C-alpha cells in the first residue's frame, strides 16, 4: 500500500453541488494531517488542518478516520473558484519523519 493515496480525478462538478474526496494513508502512527490547495502553475497553500474531532471552515469540512486510516474533504455549495488540485498531507510521529504529500485530486467546477 502506498504511503498516501488519493483519487487523481478529475472530479467535474456543477457549481453549487457538494463534492467529497478521500485520502488514505498507510502509517497508523501518523499524527497530523492537512489539506492543501494548489492552483495551476502555483505553489501549494494550506487549506485546512484536519483534527481528530473533525473541523469545519465555512463551506469546507475535514474529517479524520483513524480506524480506516483516511482523511476526507467535503466542499459544500461549490464555487467556480474552488477549481484546483487538492493535496493531502500526512505527517509522521517523530520530529525527523518525512512529510508525505498525496499526488492530489483535481477538481473542476462547471458553470
Q: Closest separation between CB of residue 96 and other proteins, Å?
A: 6
Q: Closest separation between CB of residue 99 and other proteins, Å?
A: 6
Residue 12's CB: how many other CB atoms inside 10 A?
Answer: 12
Please spell the DSSP secondary structure of 4-15, one letter per residue: EEE----EEEET
| Contacts to other proteins by CB under 8 A | 8, 31-32, 34, 36, 42-46, 49, 87, 89, 91-104
Closest C-alpha to 108, from 86, 78, 84: 84
Provide φ and ψ at 80, rounded to 5°: -55, -35
Nearer to other proteins, 13 or 89 (CB): 89
Nearer to other proteins, 42 or 59 (CB): 42
Q: Closest separation between CB of residue 54 and other proteins, Å?
A: 18
Amino acid at each position: 500500500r502506498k504511503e498516501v493515496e488519493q483519487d487523481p480525478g478529475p472530479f467535474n462538478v456543477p457549481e453549487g453541488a457538494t463534492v467529497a474526496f478521500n485520502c488514505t494513508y498507510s502509517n497508523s502512527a501518523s499524527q497530523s494531517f492537512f489539506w492543501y490547495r494548489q492552483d495551476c502553475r502555483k505553489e501549494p497553500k494550506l487549506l485546512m488542518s484536519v483534527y481528530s474531532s473533525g473541523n469545519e471552515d465555512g463551506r469546507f469540512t475535514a474529517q479524520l478516520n483513524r480506524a480506516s486510516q483516511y482523511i476526507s474533504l467535503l466542499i459544500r455549495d461549490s464555487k467556480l473558484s474552488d477549481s484546483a488540485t487538492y493535496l493531502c498531507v500526512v505527517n509522521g510521529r517523530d520530529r525527523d519523519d518525512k512529510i508525505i504529500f498525496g499526488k492530489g485530486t483535481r477538481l473542476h467546477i462547471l458553470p
